[in-house]
Structure 1
Amino acid sequence: MDGAALRAEGTRLWVAWSGDLAVAMGGWKPFDAVAAELKSMHVLQRARGQGAAARIVEAVVEDARAAGRTALFLETGSHEIHAPARRLYEKAGFSYCPPFGAYVDDPNSVFMVRAL
């Protein structure tokens, strides 16, 4: 998501800090009337494995649930470099699903969903 999309109405964003350094971020945006999409998950390389991403994902899940969303979808990479992200999402209760919304089958992407 670019800056304009991050500022769009309904989009929510979290940042994890270590002192003055932003080490992780992620958010959600409405997908339809009842579902949301996890967006813009990023973690600094040097901060990986320290739990910041898991805390961001759980904050997003809880906020989307509190906003009345019933499902949280995501798209992430299918290649080995994205394996840690997929494991994070699996541990957070996400399962694999077909493409959603405007997404189409793509060998570079996998899609996941978690009921809220």
Structure 2
Amino acid sequence: MRATSPPESVHALDLDGLRDPAITVWTVVEDGAVVGCGALKVLEPGHAEIKSMRTAASHQGRGIGTAVLRHLLAEARARGLHRLSLETGTQEFFAPARALYARHGFVPCPPFAGYTDDPNSAYLTLELAR
């Protein structure tokens, strides 16, 4: 993300950030290599943020992002969460991600969880059925 966004607009977590006890990470492994990942970060009771959704460039367009997102949605529901939110970029590089989230019902929302208005960030949320 550091290669595609201005430094002040990079919200990607490094390895230490992903070790936060509030975060659970899932990976997709193919032939011993991680080719996709996604994480949930609990923000408050009932509300979590999707973090670190990635698909290796060599594996894009194969449905890995969709599979990870579906897993995160199922896990959120199993945990009794009622809302998921996320931040992604507004640059063209992030257009496929924004389209993926829109296909799954995410809609624009104001900044949340300490984020601020940023022209390089799109904020999305999804209310989960209870």
Tell me the TM-score range normalised by the shorter chain. over 0.9
Alignment of 1:29-44 (within 5 A): 29-44=41-56
Q: Aligned residue for 1:14?
A: 26
Q: Following TM superposition, by how much is the alpha carbon of 1:47 offset from its aligned partner in structure 2, in angstroms? A: 0.4
Q: Which moved more, 1:15-24 or 1:102-111?
A: 15-24
Q: Aligned residue for 1:98?
A: 110
Q: Following TM superposition, by how much is the alpha carbon of 1:91 offset from its aligned partner in structure 2, in angstroms? A: 1.1
Q: Following TM superposition, by how much is the alpha carbon of 1:10 offset from its aligned partner in structure 2, in angstroms? A: 3.0
Q: Following TM superposition, by how much is the alpha carbon of 1:3 offset from its aligned partner in structure 2, in angstroms? A: 1.7
Q: Aligned residue for 1:71?
A: 83
Q: 1:111 aligns with which of 123, 126, 130?
A: 123
Root-mean-square deviation (CA, aligned residues, Å) is 1.0
Question: Whole-Å Cα distance in 2 between the matches of residues 78 and 55 of structure 1?
Answer: 23
Q: Aligned residue for 1:60?
A: 72
Question: Whole-Å Cα distance in 1 between the matches of residues 65 and 23 of structure 2?
Answer: 18
Q: Following TM superposition, by how much is the alpha carbon of 1:104 offset from its aligned partner in structure 2, in angstroms? A: 0.9
Q: Following TM superposition, by how much is the alpha carbon of 1:4 offset from its aligned partner in structure 2, in angstroms? A: 2.3
Is contact 1:73-1:112 (8 Å) kept?
yes
Q: Following TM superposition, by how much is the alpha carbon of 1:5 offset from its aligned partner in structure 2, in angstroms? A: 2.3
**TM-score (norm: length of structure 2):** 0.85
Please, which runs of 5 or more residues in structure 1 have no aligned partner?
none
Stretches of 4+ moved more than 6 A in 1? none
For these two proteins, the number of residue pairs brought into alignment is 116
Deviations 1:11-43 (A, max 9, x none): 111111222121100110101121000001111
Is contact 1:54-1:92 (8 Å) kept?
no
The DSSP-based 3-state class of the residue aligned with 1:65 is helix
Amino acid at match of 2:116: V
Please, which runs of 5 or more residues in structure 2 have no aligned partner?
1-12
